Amino acid sequence: MKPDLKQIQAPITREMEEFEEKFRDFMKSKVKLLDHITNYIVRRKGKQMRPMFVFLTAGVSGGITEASYRGAALIELLHTATLVHDDVVDDSNYRRGFFSVNALWKNKIAVLVGDYLLSRGLLLSVDNGDFDLLKIVSNAVREMSEGELLQIAKARKLDITEDVYYTIIRQKTASLIASCCAVGAATSGAKTELIEKMRTFGEKVGMAFQIKDDLFDYGEDEIGKPVGIDIKEKKMTLPLIYALNNASWLDKKKIIYLVRNRNEDKKSVNEVIDFVKKSGGLDYANKVMNQYFDEALEILNTFPESDYKTSLEGLLRYTIERKK
pLDDT in tens, 206-234: 999 999 989 988 875 544 445 677 888 88
Q: Which domain covers residue 204, as residue numbers?
A: 5-321
Cα distance between residue 281 and residue 276, in whole Å = 5
Alpha helices in 129-265 (DSSP H): 131-157, 162-169, 175-187, 192-216, 229-232, 238-245, 249-261
Number of domains composing the chain:
1
The CATH number given to whatever domain includes residue 151 is 1.10.600.10
Cβ atoms of 101 and 87 closer than 8 Å: yes
Q: Strand 94-95 and strand 98-99: pairing? A: antiparallel
Cβ atoms of 207 and 81 closer than 8 Å: no
Residue by residue, pLDDT tens for the chain (324 residues) are: 456 888 899 999 999 999 988 888 887 888 888 887 777 777 777 778 899 999 999 999 999 999 999 999 999 888 888 877 677 776 676 666 666 667 767 778 778 878 888 888 899 999 999 999 999 999 998 999 899 888 888 877 777 889 999 999 999 999 999 999 999 999 999 999 999 999 999 999 999 999 998 998 887 554 444 567 788 888 889 999 999 999 999 999 998 889 888 878 888 888 999 999 999 999 999 999 999 999 999 999 999 999 999 999 999 999 888 876
What is the per-residue pLDDT across 52-92, written as a single tens digit (0 to 9) for each? Answer: 999 999 999 999 999 999 999 999 888 888 877 677 776 67
Provide CB contacts within 8 A for 199, sequence distance 6+: 136, 178, 179, 181, 182, 185
Cα distance between residue 82 and residue 93, in whole Å = 15
Beta bridge partners of 99: 94
- Phi-psi sector, 66: left (phi>0), alpha (psi -120 to 50), beta: alpha
